[in-house]
Amino acid sequence: MPTGKVKWFDAEKGFGFLSQDDGPDVYVHADALPAGVAKSLKAGTRVEFGIAQGRRGDQALSVRVLGGTASVARNQAAARRKKPDEMVAIVEDLTKILERIEEGYRHGRHPDPKVAKRVGEGLRALADEFDQL
């Protein structure tokens, strides 16, 4: 079975091309990819595939992903992530603030707008940290 790399793949259009290790480029349609791979397939990803003659030339069939390329963006995001001991302090502080706000709500009071804005910013920052996982 031939092997190669993804030359390019457009998930919105549902097709792209694979570069064979020793041969011409091969057209690949999203239907030839394993389930759920089309949206995450990136240039440079190693693949193994069968080839069939299509209307316009060679076409990849039964593509199997052999390994991915390291994403620069993913590596940069991992480097920016806070350490677990830093996250403990942030989560504890937000929990205390939210408990004070909860107490105010129990007594029929909304939080001060300035406090509410800071809490919202803190919660969004915490959510961004979780999204990087």
**Percentage of residues in the chain having pLDDT higher than 90:** 37
CATH 2.40.50.140 residue ranges of the chain are 3-67
- Residue-wise pLDDT tens digits, 18-63: 999 888 999 999 999 888 888 878 888 889 999 998 888 889 988 9
Q: What is the pLDDT of residue 68?
A: 53
CATH tag for 3-67 (out of 2.40.50.140, 1.10.220.150, 3.30.479.30, 3.40.640.10): 2.40.50.140
Give residue 56's identity as a one-letter amino acid code: R
Both ends of the chain: CA-CA distance in Å?
35
What pLDDT score does 57 carry?
86
pLDDT tens digit string along 98-113?
999 999 999 999 999 9
Per-residue pLDDT averaged across 70-98, rounded?
Answer: 79
Q: How far apart are CA 18 and CA 25, in angstroms?
A: 6
74 has pLDDT over 80: no
All residues at 6 or more sequence positions from 11 whose CB lies less than 8 Å from its CB, including other chains = 30, 38, 39, 41
- Which pLDDT band, with edges at 50, 70 and 90, does 72 fall under? low
Q: pLDDT averaged over the chain? A: 86
DSSP state of 36: T
At 14, list the tokens: 């549902």
Nearest to 4 by CA among 13, 16, 94: 16
**How far is residue 37's CA from residue 30's CA, in Å, rounded to a whole number?**
9
Beta-sheet pairing, 26-29 with 15-20? antiparallel
Nearest to 119 by CA among 131, 106, 110: 110
Does pLDDT of 11 surpass 80? yes
Q: By three-state DSSP, how is residue 50 classified?
A: strand
What is the largest distance, in Å, between two alpha-carbon atoms of the chain? Answer: 74
